[in-house]
Amino acid sequence: MTGDLVVAATVGTARRGLDLDRLPDELRPAGPADEPAVALLDAAALSAVARRCTPRPSSPADPSAAATAPAETRPEIPDAVRQELVRMRTHEAVLVEAITAIDRAGLRLPPDLVPVLLDDPRTAVRSAAAGPVGGAIGGLLTVLNPRWAAAGGPDPDDPRVWDDGTLLDRTRWLRARRRVDPDGARALLADGFTREPAASRVELLAALSVNLGPADQDLLLAAVGDRSRAVVMAALDLLTRIPQSPLRRDMQTLAARHLVVRRRLLRPPVITLTDPTPQEFAPWPAPDHDPWTTVLSRIDPVDWPTVFGADLLPLVGAPELRPLRPGFRRAAVTFRHADLAFVLVRQQLDVAADAGPTPVVDAGLWAVLAPDALTACFERLLADPRVRPGHLSPLLDALERPWPIGVSRRLGPWLATSGAVGIPAARPLWDAWAERTALADCPEIAGLARQIIERASGENASALVSRASPAVRILTLRAVLHGALPRPEGSR
């Protein structure tokens, strides 16, 4: 009978019925059974607690010990939010966002939705629904199904995954361990690291990016001498992220030797540029491509004034430094330097329209821009008649979510005509617009979307309405969610 109870609680009463009157008294939920799904979940919770509290066979049973479900510590979400969750089921990104917002608001999911979300085939949905947001019933159900428990992430205190898990499981566990015990996790990795296959060494070494610090240098320096090129590059990338690492100091010294900026009063500076030789990179691996790209990718632009005796940012466009632009790009992306990225993106936008049929859109640089700079550059990009939806898709995918309000405001009207193309953009771009707009901005952008539909006319009106209407529904759902959930202090 208990097995039937578990199955029914898992798949739902619509797919598996159960006569609750046949349950033992200690497992039969109290109160009226006018909501079968809720009563079933209460019974499942009581069953789990009873099973965990049952004495060992060697001990006499104690029939007086009644099992009770744990008390809830969070209030349940309002009914309006519950209805929106049901409507969001087909939109993975929006559903995950909603569950995350519920968790941050200190609320919990309704008991009847918890097993449905924990059993969702989409990993992101299961992970979002695991944990405190599932309430007491969620905690009990994860005991019944190990796959549901796994959705919440690995237990950093359980080393069995490290000993026996797959590479993916071990990497996830090591990252989790790094969050709570960086030194212990590094010691585990170092012990037996060289015995791991090369592919495993690369993935496991990357886990050091969590709480990376000077204490990790010895292991990384040893990995620079690894027999695998991929492991060496992974170690170099991590050493680049440690401000005072030997790698960064050596690259600064090498750069200062070959790039000299001599400032002059009231006149442009004199720039002297030479190429480093492969031998000068020792003891580090010599690059197999442009040496300056490698050197600049290891130097934080914040350190330029110290390294070169002058800030290179105003000089990035100088003709003498044109060969260094690939290195400048790598530095901007590696160190997330928004000002350098802004300079480089503006240079790309300044290229005349007759320079070629295709505009230059470097998604990696755009992803580094600060919100105001991103909005200004985005407006200029959309004004370029050469821009097509195919240019925007990778750019929009690269942007951090949620988007700044300026991007959302400008994208909607452009989608109506695809710029100079004259026809509505394809449905995926409309969906991206609706899903990646900031939650607090959804009421405004939903109104903008409705205006676009109301103004539709001509031979493309039908296509515009059919592509924009789903975006209106998504934006409206998210606007309702924003209005119904309490917001943490300091949020918009």
Q: How far apart are CA 46 and CA 38, in angstroms?
A: 12
Name the DSSP letter for residue 105. T
Q: What is the 8-class DSSP label of residue 252?
A: H
Find the angle CA(56)-CA(61)-CA(66) to the nearest 5 degrees: 105
What single string gives the DSSP state of each residue in 455-475?
A: T--STTHHHHHHHHHHHHHHH
Query: What integer pLDDT is reported at residue 62 of this predicted model?
Result: 43
| Residue spans of the chain under pLDDT 70 | 1-70, 146, 149-152, 352-355, 487-492
Q: Please, where are the H alpha helices in 146-245? A: 146-151, 160-164, 167-180, 182-190, 198-206, 217-224, 229-240
DSSP string, 276-326: PPGGGGTTSPPPSS-HHHHHHHTS-GGGHHHHHSS-SGGGTT-GGGGGGHH
The two structure tokens encoding residue 275: 């190429």
pLDDT of amino acid 452: 95
Phi and psi based region of residue 131 (left: phi greater than 0; alpha: psi -120 to 50; beta: remaining):
left
**What pLDDT does residue 149 have?**
67
Q: Determine the Cα–Cα distance for residues 265 and 327; give it in Å rounded to an integer.
A: 28
Cut 0.85: pTM above it: no
φ/ψ of 268, rounded to 5, equals -60, 150
Whether cis (ω within 30° of 0) applies to the bond prior to 402 is yes
3-state secondary structure of 23: coil
Residue 354: the pLDDT is 58
Whole-number pLDDT of residue 328? 97
3-state secondary structure of 212: coil
Cα separation, 124 vs 97, in Å, equals: 10
CA distance 91 to 96: 9
Amino acid 169 reads D
Cα 301 from Cα 332, distance rounded (Å):
8
